[in-house]
């Protein structure tokens, strides 16, 4: 009668992988035996358990195993009052169990797993095998089939591969910086690691637990670590190492010799990011003005006082790296010129001449010093005049002594402009006026006539 029920039960057995249900579940416990120490000649056992069952009064199952690895050596049913049919077929690898409780046994009701059978194996070789429960049947005290789930088991005594793990430092290395790779966190669960091999992703390789490497080009590198254990099993892991490089700040400016209040153009476009791109340019003009940050590499600035300014450019790239460069810029005063002329340039003693000129660019109301001297004298006489509304000046000089006179003009400059001194011009002063030439001629003629007349009369007397 029980056997008849078994055939029907197969339909209701569902194999699942993970126990996460309140349904009756027939399981191999432990579900997985992975133990390289279970070498040939050793014994181990598994339990077949039932959980979440009510009113269990009989069960039947078969368990299949790989006979090249295991031999079934025994089955124990841990219930005192039952009848059973137990068999082990070591040719096909089948353990068959059929149990029916007998009075005075009570039906089994349990939530927690309860062992229905313990099965012993002898290990005969290295390998792996499923411990496959099938043809399972559960019946209650009324000989009714109890629907249930089934969970298979697994056995392996194969050597375990190692586990490859590594760290590296620094996490964001720069070009030409030493990067230390450390594989000491790698391990072998059933032995030891005998070899560490590194592929740095840039064509370079190394061996060893801890190795150093230097990248010379920025970029992303896939670093592979391969570890080998004492069973010659290998395992590989990889990480991407990003190598960065600081940008290089560089700028030009024009004009080369800027003047006060002259717009100076700064151009940072020759800066190079060396990986990524430059996201902004920060300028410190060293003149007390605000530090500015711009996206455009070109900016203009005007210095309002003469001096030497250490202009600093800082570039920031898309990797968050910065670099700075400084150039000393000399801001000079604008030059000026002062002209001079005399009108007239030749006068006689007692006459005057007008000394005039102008400052370029025009400077209004500034003091011009006019210096003059008789040629050959060591010292200059000076006088000052003030420029008019167009930057011109004028000075009237009255002569008193004949001779050649040198004149020059100068101004000292102002806050934004350098002063200048003119060239030297010459004014000729002649002696005072002489008697008229005609009168002189008449006098000479008269003398000649008188002389001639006198000679005539003297000769006539003889
Ligand atoms: Ca191993």
- What are the sequence ranges of the domains in the chain? 2-156, 167-243, 252-331, 337-430, 437-462
Residues in CB range of 329: below 8 A, 6 or more apart: 253, 258, 264, 303, 308, 309, 310, 311
**Ligand 1: centre distance to CA 238 (Å):** 20
Give the chain's count of helices (H) and strands (E): 2, 37
**Ligand 1: centre distance to CA 268 (Å):** 59
**Ligand 1: centre distance to CA 126 (Å):** 14
**Ligand 1: centre distance to CA 68 (Å):** 22
CB 93 within 8 A of CB 67: yes
**Ligand 1: centre distance to CA 230 (Å):** 6
| Superfamily name with CATH number, domain 337-430 | Immunoglobulins (2.60.40.10)
Residue 437: what pLDDT?
64
- Those residues of the chain that have pLDDT short of 70 are 1-21, 275, 433-440, 461-462
Residue 7: what pLDDT?
33
**Ligand 1: centre distance to CA 325 (Å):** 56
**Ligand 1: centre distance to CA 36 (Å):** 9
**Ligand 1: centre distance to CA 42 (Å):** 19
Question: Hey, is 220 helix, strand or coil?
Answer: strand
**Ligand 1: centre distance to CA 302 (Å):** 73
Tell me yes or no: is domain 167-243 CATH 2.60.40.10: yes
Q: Residue 81 burial (CB < 10 Å; 0-12/13-18/19+)?
A: exposed
How many C-beta atoms lie closer than 10 Å to residue 231's C-beta? 17
CB 318 within 8 A of CB 284: no
**Ligand 1: centre distance to CA 65 (Å):** 24
**Ligand 1: centre distance to CA 228 (Å):** 8
**Ligand 1: centre distance to CA 159 (Å):** 5
The reply to whether 337-430 shares the fold of 252-331 is yes
CA 292 to CA 275: how far, in whole Å? 24
**Ligand 1: centre distance to CA 223 (Å):** 23
- Fold of the domain spanning 2-156: Immunoglobulin-like (2.60.40)
**Ligand 1: centre distance to CA 239 (Å):** 23
Residue 432: what pLDDT?
78
CA 159 to CA 156: how far, in whole Å? 9
CB 284 within 8 A of CB 274: no
| Nearest partner of 370 among 410, 398, 401, judged by Cα | 410
Residue 402: what pLDDT?
94
Tell me yes or no: is domain 252-331 CATH 1.10.1040.10: no
Residue 236: what pLDDT?
97
**Ligand 1: centre distance to CA 229 (Å):** 5
**Ligand 1: centre distance to CA 231 (Å):** 6
**Ligand 1: centre distance to CA 32 (Å):** 18
CB 206 within 8 A of CB 198: yes
**Ligand 1: centre distance to CA 162 (Å):** 5
Residue 4: what pLDDT?
28
CA 202 to CA 173: how far, in whole Å? 14
Residue 436: what pLDDT?
58
Residue 460: what pLDDT?
74
pTM for the full model? 0.54
**Ligand 1: centre distance to CA 190 (Å):** 5
Phi-psi region of 389 (alpha: psi -120 to 50; beta: other; left: phi over 0): alpha
**Ligand 1: centre distance to CA 319 (Å):** 42
**Ligand 1: centre distance to CA 233 (Å):** 6
Residue 450: what pLDDT?
85
**Ligand 1: centre distance to CA 288 (Å):** 69
Residue 154: what pLDDT?
96
């Amino acid at each position: 009668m029980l056997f008849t029920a078994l055939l029907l039960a197969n339909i209701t057995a569902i194999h699942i992988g993970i126990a996460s249900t309140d349904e009756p579940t027939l399981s191999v416990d432990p579900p997985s035996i992975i133990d390289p120490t279970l070498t040939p000649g050793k014994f181990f056992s598994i339990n077949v358990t039932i959980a979440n069952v009510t009113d269990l009064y009989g069960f039947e199952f078969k368990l299949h195993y790989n006979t090249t690895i295991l031999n079934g050596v025994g089955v124990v049913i841990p219930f005192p009052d039952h009848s059973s049919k137990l068999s082990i077929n070591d040719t096909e690898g089948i353990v068959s169990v059929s149990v029916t409780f007998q009075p005075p046994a009570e039906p089994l009701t349990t939530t927690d797993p309860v062992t229905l059978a313990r099965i012993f194996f002898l290990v005969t070789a290295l390998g792996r095998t499923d411990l496959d429960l099938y043809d399972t049947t559960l019946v209650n005290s009324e000989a009714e089939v109890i629907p249930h789930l089934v969970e298979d088991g697994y056995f392996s005594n194969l050597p375990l591969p190692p586990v490859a793990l590594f760290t590296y430092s620094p996490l964001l290395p720069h070009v030409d910086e030493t990067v230390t790779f450390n594989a000491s966190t790698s391990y072998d669960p059933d032995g030891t690691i005998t070899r560490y091999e590194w592929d740095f992703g840039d064509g370079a390789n190394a061996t060893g637990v801890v190795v150093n490497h230097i990248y010379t080009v920025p970029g992303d590198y896939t670093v592979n670590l391969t570890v080998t254990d004492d069973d010659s099993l290998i395992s590989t892991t990889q990480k991407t190492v990003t190598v960065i490089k600081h940008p290089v700040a560089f700028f030009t400016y024009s004009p080369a010799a800027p003047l006060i209040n002259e717009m100076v153009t700064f151009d940072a476009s020759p800066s190079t990011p060396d990986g990524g791109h430059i996201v902004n340019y920060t300028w410190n003009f060293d003149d007390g003005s605000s530090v500015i940050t711009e996206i455009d590499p070109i900016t203009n600035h005007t210095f309002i006082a003469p001096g030497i300014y250490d202009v600093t450019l800082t570039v920031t790239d898309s990797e968050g790296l910065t670099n700075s460069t400084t150039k000393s810029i000399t801001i000079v005063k604008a030059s000026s010129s002062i002209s001079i002329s005399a009108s007239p340039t030749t006068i006689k003693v007692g006459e005057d001449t007008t000394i005039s000129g102008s400052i370029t660019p025009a400077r209004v109301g500034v003091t011009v010093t006019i210096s003059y001297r008789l040629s050959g004298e060591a010292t200059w006489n000076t006088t000052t005049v003030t420029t008019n509304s167009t930057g011109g000046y004028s000075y009237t000089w009255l002569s008193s002594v004949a001779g050649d006179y040198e004149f020059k003009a100068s101004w000292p400059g102002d806050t934004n402009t350098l002063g200048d001194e003119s060239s030297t011009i010459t004014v000729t002063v002649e002696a005072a006026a002489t008697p008229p030439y005609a009168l002189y001629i008449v006098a000479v003629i008269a003398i000649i006539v008188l002389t001639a007349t006198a000679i005539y009369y003297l000769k006539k007397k003889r």
